[in-house]
């Protein structure tokens, strides 16, 4: 009798599972624009490990190179959600407030670095005087450089900024067009591959916080339950990353077609977690002040960043998870 | 299964139950300790972070050496707290790692701020830097707070999960074991009761004298062994009872046989082996009694001493066996022609004695002697021979010729010799010295 019960239960579960999957496949797909970087790990893992399907979601990941393109796909209504850094959020907030950050899912305190072919020359930051520094205009690259100079009290040093695109940074450095570049990963890793010594000129860990965030339009066809399910899937993927970091890296390595050593290089810098605190708010605020100071955005157009941060969703999710 | 093994198993199960309860309690205690440790630790962390936060605020307000020393202390305290090894699981460890990282970020920020703070000259730049540092500190502390919330939440969630798992597990194991022990004990009890009932019934049956019934048992335990022994005992008892009866019968049979043998011995002691009539000793004993009785009642009796004639010739010519048969026939004839009160005996060879009791008149003796002589002389067929014998008879009379058996036999013997000597007479009364003689003519 016990055996029959177990059989019945198993059959029942099986049927329920099938029904679940059927209903998932019938459901309209939720599209998410994700950046082709390891920072999007929770999405790739959730897709690969079936966490979306387990939460009754049919998710389609659209991959783009960088958060800016992801964000553009979102506002162009190509996708339902996008992932982008807080810098992208900050700049776009000056243009529009019809989007909202739902959650931050990864942070790095060591993503942007000052790199050089001869880092030993610049161990003292004073030595960067009269150097040519390659930066990407109006991006985290420039913000990081400015922050570093401010915090180290080196704003008065005469330096020459050479504005480049991300693709031009390393060639320019190798070509001696610039002495130093302010660049994010994986450029640091790629440079390391080229010169075989650590290209970082100073340890800038903790001086700049990069975050990647899940962003959606305020007017969305995706209902709240699915949004909750989406957060749950990402949360499960994050737990999986914590518990099985090696397997997670293998999946990422295959998905992004990057060498495991590259993943390894910056893996320890990433903190995967769902959050939406004042830290992000403060980060965006600081960056916006910098953008205003540097006239990257119209000065008169002050933005209330509370409008683009939707705490409600994550709070509800957290409360549910805590069983409150 | 043996009852002792059953009880042993019950004891083992009970011990196991006790052990599991004990271990569970220890485990519960350990879990609780772990949970308390974790919660205490989280609270300490929270306090350290709060303390760091307030010190950071103070440092922003009073950027001096004292503030820096204090800030360094707080930061080091938090680092020390974070380095403590608590039994965290993977996720909690990640949070602690992140807190550590944030604390290191605080250190990096303090170091950066501190290294250039004294050289700050440009007021605008200084205020910019100050604002930036404030924002950075605020961000880090905010993140720390958020992580602490996550740690609390995770700790509580895990404590709840652990306790529930333990509760379910212990509950399930205890329920299973207690059910098992209870069922097992009841089964043992039932077997014990049934076994005892069977034995009791068997004993009651035996007490009421039933030796045939047996205790029926199907189990293989001590009570079954007891029942089996009881059945064996009952069987033995039945056997013993049967033996006793047959022994009694045998004793009776042997007793009867002995009596018969005794009777036979008595008979053989008193009777002549060949003829079955009284031998000399028994005859004398018998006539002694008769003499005593007759003397008391003043009665007369006669003793005849008979010696066969022609017998020696038969014996010599036809053999002892024929002679023996002649003796037997004569003895039979004598016995057949005497009264029940008369006594006949054989003294040996061809000599017979006859006691004629209660003789009223002498004439009666003569008649009897004549009758006896007639039957003696009757021819007899033995094998192919027709034989005849005669007899010489001597007679003595009580009390006339003597008052004792010896006297009377002697007198009759004497008279018989006289008759034998005289071919003209067949019998002769004893002729005493006093001269009284009575002769019978042939």
Closest of B202, B214, B91 to residue B155, by C-alpha: B91
Same domain, A218 and A97: yes
Q: Are B227 and B217 in contact (CB under 8 A)?
A: yes
**Beta partners for B395?**
B304, B429
A148 vs A170, A180, B330, CA distance in Å? 21, 14, 174
Q: Are A20 and A13 in contact (CB under 8 A)?
A: no
Taking chain A (324 residues) in runs of 10, the rounded mean pLDDT of each run is: 43 49 66 93 95 94 90 93 93 91 92 89 85 89 89 86 90 91 89 82 84 92 91 94 93 92 89 89 89 83 86 89 77
DSSP-based three-state secondary structure for A287: helix
Which stretches in chain B have pLDDT values below 50? 434-442
CB contact under 8 A, A279 and B143: yes
Ramachandran region of residue B436, left (φ > 0), alpha (ψ -120 to 50) or beta? beta
Closest of A76, A70, A60 to residue A24, by C-alpha: A60
Nearest-CA residue of chain A relative to B112? A152
B91 interfaces chain A, CB cutoff of 8 Å: yes
Same domain, A137 and A23: no
Same domain, A91 and A120: no
Same domain, A63 and A32: yes
pLDDT at A1: 40
The ipTM (two decimal places) reads 0.83
* Best CATH choice for the domain B3-185 from the list 2.60.40.10, 1.20.120.1730, 3.90.650.10, 3.30.420.40: 1.20.120.1730
| Angle (CA) B243 B248 B253, round 5° | 120
CATH number at residue A138: 3.40.190.10
Same domain, A99 and A6: yes
CB contact under 8 A, B108 and A203: yes
| A-interface mutation test, from B94, B121, B152, most A Cβ less than 10 A away | B94
CB contact under 8 A, B108 and A206: yes
DSSP-based three-state secondary structure for B302: strand
Identify the DSSP state of B182: H
A31 backbone dihedrals φ, ψ, rounded to 5°: -105, 140
B13: CB partners within 8 A, 6+ apart: B177, B180, B181, B184
Alpha-carbon distance of B323 to B309, in angstroms, equals: 12
Total domains present in chain A: 2
pLDDT at A23: 55
Same domain, A213 and A185: no
Residue ending a domain, choose from A195, A222, A244 = A195
Same domain, A245 and A272: yes
B145 interfaces chain A, CB cutoff of 8 Å: yes
Residue A281: count other Cβ atoms within 10 Å of its Cβ: 20
| B-interface mutation test, from A151, A208, A270, A309, most B Cβ less than 10 A away | A151
Chain A hits for B109, Cβ within 8 Å = 151, 206-207
**Beta partners for B303?**
B355, B396
pLDDT at B110: 86
Domain span including residue A173: 112-195
Q: Are A71 and A21 in contact (CB under 8 A)?
A: no
B133 interfaces chain A, CB cutoff of 8 Å: yes
Q: Is residue A140 domain-resident? A: yes
Nearest-CA residue of chain B relative to A205? B105
pLDDT at A323: 75
CB contact under 8 A, A286 and B132: yes
pLDDT tens-digit series, residues B339-372: 888 999 998 888 999 999 888 887 888 888 999 9
Alpha-carbon distance of A208 to B105, in angstroms, equals: 9
pLDDT at B267: 85
Task: Give the neighbor-by-neighbor strand order of the sheet with A210-217.
Answer: A59-64, A30-35, A81-85, A210-217, A99-108, A270-275
pTM assigned to the model: 0.66
pLDDT at B116: 67
pLDDT tens-digit series, residues B170-209: 889 889 989 999 999 998 899 889 888 988 998 999 899 8
Same domain, A98 and A247: yes
B168: CB partners within 8 A, 6+ apart: none
Residue ending a domain, choose from A195, A227, A258 = A195
B87 backbone dihedrals φ, ψ, rounded to 5°: -70, 75
CA-only gyration radius of chain B, Å: 70
A80 backbone dihedrals φ, ψ, rounded to 5°: -85, -35
pLDDT at A32: 95
Q: Are B359 and B347 in contact (CB under 8 A)?
A: no
pLDDT at A133: 93
Same domain, A49 and A134: no
Q: Which CATH architecture has domain B271-429?
A: 2-Layer Sandwich (3.30)
Cis (ω within 30 of 0) for the bond into B18?
no
Residue ending a domain, choose from A166, A195, A224 = A195
CA-only gyration radius of chain A, Å: 22
Closest of A241, A242, A117, A259 to residue A186, by C-alpha: A259
Same domain, A87 and A150: no
Closest of B378, B404, B182, B400 to residue B285, by C-alpha: B404
pLDDT at A61: 94
Q: Is residue A201 domain-resident? A: no
Nearest CB to B120; choose among A153, A277, A279? A153
Same domain, A191 and A223: no
Alpha-carbon distance of B88 to B431, in angstroms, equals: 156
Q: What are the boundaries of each domain within chain B?
A: 3-185, 271-429
Same domain, A74 and A165: no
């Amino acid at each position: 009798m016990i055996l029959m019960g177990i059989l019945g239960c198993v059959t029942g579960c099986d049927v329920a599972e099938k029904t679940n999957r059927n209903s998932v496949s019938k459901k309209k797909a939720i599209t998410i624009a994700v950046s082709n970087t390891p920072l999007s790990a929770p999405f790739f893992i959730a897709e690969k490990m079936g966490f979306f399907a387990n939460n009754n979601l049919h998710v389609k990941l659209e991959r783009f190179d960088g958060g800016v393109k992801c964000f553009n796909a979102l506002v162009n209504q190509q996708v339902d959600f996008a992932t982008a850094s807080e810098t992208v959020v900050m700049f776009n907030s000056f243009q529009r407030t019809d989007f909202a950050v739902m959650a931050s899912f990864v942070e790095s305190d060591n993503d942007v670095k000052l790199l050089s072919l001869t880092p030993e020359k610049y161990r003292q930051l004073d030595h960067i005087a009269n150097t040519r520094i390659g930066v990407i205009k109006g991006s985290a690259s420039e913000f990081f450089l400015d922050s570093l100079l401010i915090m180290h009290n080196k704003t008065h040093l005469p330096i020459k900024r050479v504005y480049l695109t991300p693709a031009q940074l390393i060639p320019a450095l190798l070509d001696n067009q610039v002495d130093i570049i302010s660049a994010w990963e994986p450029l640091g890793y790629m440079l390391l591959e080229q010169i075989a010594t650590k290209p970082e000129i100073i340890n800038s860990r903790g001086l700049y916080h990069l975050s990647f965030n899940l962003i959606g339009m305020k007017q969305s066809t995706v209902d709240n339950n699915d949004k909750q399910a989406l957060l749950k899937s990402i949360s499960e993927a994050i737990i999986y990353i914590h518990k099985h970091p090696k397997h997670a890296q293998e999946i990422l390595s295959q998905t992004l077609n990057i060498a495991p050593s590259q993943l390894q290089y910056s893996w320890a810098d990433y903190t995967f977690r769902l959050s939406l605190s004042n830290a992000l708010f403060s980060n965006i605020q600081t960056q916006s002040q910098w953008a205003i100071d540097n006239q990257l955005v119209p000065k008169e157009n002050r933005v209330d960043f509370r409008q683009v941060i939707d705490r409600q969703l994550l709070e509800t999710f957290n409360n549910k998870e805590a069983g409150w | 299964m043996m009852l002792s093994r059953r009880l042993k198993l019950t004891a083992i199960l009970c011990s196991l139950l006790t052990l599991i309860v004990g271990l569970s309690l220890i485990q519960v205690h350990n879990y609780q300790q772990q949970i308390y440790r974790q919660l205490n630790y989280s609270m300490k962390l929270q306090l350290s972070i709060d303390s760091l936060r307030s010190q950071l605020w103070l440092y922003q307000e009073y950027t001096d050496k004292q503030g820096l020393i204090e800030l360094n202390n707080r930061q080091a305290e938090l680092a020390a707290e974070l380095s403590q090894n608590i039994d965290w699981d993977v996720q909690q460890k990640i949070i602690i790692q992140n807190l550590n990282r944030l604390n290191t970020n605080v250190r990096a920020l303090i170091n950066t701020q501190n290294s250039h703070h004294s050289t700050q000259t440009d007021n605008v730049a200084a205020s910019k830097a100050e604002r930036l540092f404030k924002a950075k500190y605020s961000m880090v502390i905010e993140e720390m707070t958020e992580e602490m919330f996550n740690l609390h939440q995770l700790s509580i969630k895990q404590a709840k999960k652990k306790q529930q798992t333990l509760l379910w597990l212990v509950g399930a194991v205890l329920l299973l074991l207690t059910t098992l022990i209870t069922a097992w004990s009841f089964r043992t009890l039932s077997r014990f009761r049934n076994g005892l009932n069977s034995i009791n019934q068997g004993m009651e049956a035996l007490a009421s004298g039933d030796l045939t019934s047996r205790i029926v048992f199907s189990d293989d335990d001590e009570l079954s062994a007891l029942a089996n022994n009881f059945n064996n005992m009952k069987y033995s008892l039945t056997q013993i009872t049967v033996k006793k009866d047959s022994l009694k019968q045998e004793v009776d049979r042997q007793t009867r046989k002995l009596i018969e043998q005794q009777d036979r011995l008595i008979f053989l002691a008193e009777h002549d082996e060949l003829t079955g009539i009284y031998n000399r000793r028994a005859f004398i004993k018998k006539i002694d009694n008769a003499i005593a009785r007759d003397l008391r009642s003043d009665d007369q009796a006669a003793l005849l001493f008979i010696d066969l004639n022609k017998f020696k010739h038969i014996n010599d010519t036809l053999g002892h066996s024929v002679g023996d048969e002649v003796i037997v026939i004569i003895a039979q004839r004598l016995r057949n022609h005497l009264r029940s009160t008369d006594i006949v005996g054989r003294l040996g060879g061809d000599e017979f004695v006859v006691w004629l009791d209660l003789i009223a008149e002498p004439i009666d003796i003569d008649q009897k002697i004549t009758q006896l002589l007639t039957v003696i002389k009757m021819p007899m067929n033995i094998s192919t021979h027709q034989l005849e014998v005669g007899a010489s008879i001597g007679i003595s009379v009580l009390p006339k010729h003597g008052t004792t058996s010896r006297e009377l036999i002697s007198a009759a013997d004497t008279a018989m010799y006289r008759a034998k000597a005289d071919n003209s007479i067949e019998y002769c009364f004893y002729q005493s010295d006093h001269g009284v003689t009575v002769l019978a003519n042939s």
